[in-house]
Amino acid sequence: MSSRQKIALYTAVFLAAYLIPLQHPRVQTALWDMWVMLQDYARAHVLFCLVPAFFIAGAIAVFVGKESVLEYLGPKANKLLCYSVASTSGSVLAVCSCTVLPLFAGIYTRGAGIGPATAFLYSGPAINVLAIILTARVLGLELGVARAIGAVVFAVVTGLLMSWLFRREEEERLAACAADGLHTDAEAGQPLWQVASFIGVMVLILIFAAWARPADQSGLWWAVYQVKWWIVLPLLGVLALMLWQWYTRDQIKEWLDETWTFTELIMPLLFAGVLAAGLLLGMPGTDNGLIPNEWIGRLVGGNSLLASFGAALVGALMYFATLTEIPILQGLIGSGMGKGPALALLLAGPALSLPSMLVIQSVLGTRKTLAFVTIVVVLSTIAGFLYGMIA
């Protein structure tokens, strides 16, 4: 941290301590909700979502060759193949906007083009099969289908737009990436099937360890939830066996070092973002934030273009744990929210949040982050407005 950044941080802390009216009841409840939200995030996401994601990101950065990433996700890759994979990955990875960040950072820093990388970044949390099914059951089949189609299309369109907007910068970045040595010591001599198997086992651990408890205690989703640890524990044993048989101590150390690098980069920003979201908006479903729910309700009421934009913007800023956006929307719709703004929030909310924006900025930089957020909000607004006109 530079001297200017330290001065800015100290000044912000001083002004907050000096000016915040701590005696005001809403400020007190917002501060309380801020810490409750952080605790809820830590309990629900860190151990079983973020930690496996950090290890996967570290493995991608160390064991996956840059030439492989450039071949399948680089500028010369088959566009139909790379965007198809990137835009449908969320159907497998049932993760929130924060959990997908280490995986996105791993493939982007390894040489993936900004188009496929941001398509993956959007699709990871947006195309969640369980969330789409639950949307259809709770909010209606039409809204569920519209969410599924919109999420897949938006992932591709967002990636293509980002690739076009930053095509010159990407050419320079990917050329430098290709020239900067294709192999690390850890990946040298590793067969592709071994690397794919190793990362695949960790992906399965992430999927089942993060399997959320469904509201409906019946059916396939509930059955998987009941036995998920009987699946995870053998997978951990397989992972340990792979490490013992396939990798040297130096390779494992390099993997762990890279995992820690991603953790150190992302975790503080996520925690800061969750605290800020809790302070401003409160826990999802409550009215304890500094911004009253009444203001949000006025902003997203009806089916106007402004309402769809307001819903997309609110969704982009709020943090939604996986599946929590559905009961929140159910309450908002009952309070007068139109179906158009509801779709706008469903398309923007899971893919973005204030915590995720902070991390994306640290990976992509300010200009690319603003472009990504703007594209998602604008596309969600347009889709919500058009759906509201015909729904």
Task: Please state the φ and ψ torsions of residue 302, each to the nearest 5 degrees.
Answer: 80, -165
27 in any annotated domain: no
What's the confidence (pLDDT) of residue 233?
93
CA 343 to CA 388: how far, in whole Å?
9
State the residue range of the domain holding 287.
36-390
When pLDDT is averaged across residues 261-270 and rounded to a whole number, the result is 80
Average pLDDT over the chain reads 79
First to last CA, the chain: 51
22 in any annotated domain: no
DSSP conformational letter for 20: -
154 in any annotated domain: yes
Contact indicator for 54, 102 with CB cutoff of 8 Å? yes
26 in any annotated domain: no
13 in any annotated domain: no
135 pLDDT above the threshold of 90: no
244 in any annotated domain: yes
Structure tokens at 209: 């360890």
Give how many domains the chain has, as a whole number. 1
* β strands within the chain, DSSP E: none
Tally of CB atoms within 10 A around 68: 17
| 100-109 vs 354-364: helix crossing angle, rounded to 10 | 10
108 in any annotated domain: yes
When pLDDT is averaged across residues 339-357 and rounded to a whole number, the result is 85
What's the confidence (pLDDT) of residue 130?
65
CA 379 to CA 388: how far, in whole Å?
14
When pLDDT is averaged across residues 96-115 and rounded to a whole number, the result is 77
For 140-198, the pLDDT digits (tens) are 888 888 888 888 888 889 989 998 898 888 777 767 765 665 455 455 557 777 888 88
What's the confidence (pLDDT) of residue 37?
79
Task: Please state the φ and ψ torsions of residue 177, each to the nearest 5 degrees.
Answer: -65, -40
At 217, the amino acid letter reads: Q
61 pLDDT above the threshold of 80: no
What's the confidence (pLDDT) of residue 322?
61
Least confident of 90-94, 146-150, 295-299: 90-94
